[in-house]
Amino acid sequence: METERSDKLLQEKARKQLAKDLKPIEKLRYQCLLRGASGIAGIGRQFRIIDDDGNKKLDFKEFSKGCKDFGVDLSKDEIKEIFDEIDADQSGFIDFDEFLMSLRIEDLKGVYNVKNHPKFINGEKTEDEILVEFLKTFQPQNNADEVITREEFFNYYSGLSASVDNDAYFDLMIRCSFKL
């Protein structure tokens, strides 16, 4: 029941955001989120299907087909802009994991607060760099895939909570970090 309610709230937020003038990558993200919490995972499945050779890289033609097959409402120019933004090294391919990460980073910006992070305050790191660093804290050193599983999340916060003496402080820390 709670998951259903959260999904509906997520979809409503996405619907409101789509009414705004957004960058194409944001449009794609919100169109995925209109399908609920599993929307980004759904587009991930779609791209795995299209990646015939299994190299986890897509060229523009494959990427464009994946967007259309998934039912994304974007023009060819918008799809090209997204592709070019993700293909930072201009290789003509986008790495599948980088694509999903570009969507997830944007999701984290909405829920994880970096404004009080010391390296953000002193200008040493950008918001994106801190978010990527945050994602990596969940991963074992030999498995830094930048996708957080439920188990990794719980293991990380179990360890963290054990190091905090006061439950109220831990609760406050989590609420501030995730804008709850």
Domains and CATH numbers, the chain: 2-108 (1.10.238.10), 112-177 (1.10.238.10)
This prediction has a pTM of: 0.54
Give per-residue pLDDT as tens, 57-71.
Answer: 888 998 898 888 888
Q: Are 112 and 131 in contact (CB under 8 A)?
A: yes
Give per-residue pLDDT as tens, 29-58.
Answer: 778 777 765 666 667 777 778 887 778 788
- pLDDT at residue 81 is higher than 90: yes
Give the tokens for residue 46.
């779609």
Q: Are 127 and 120 in contact (CB under 8 A)?
A: yes
Q: Which residues contact 87 (CB under 8 A, 6 or more apart)?
A: 93, 94
- pLDDT at residue 1 is higher than 50: no
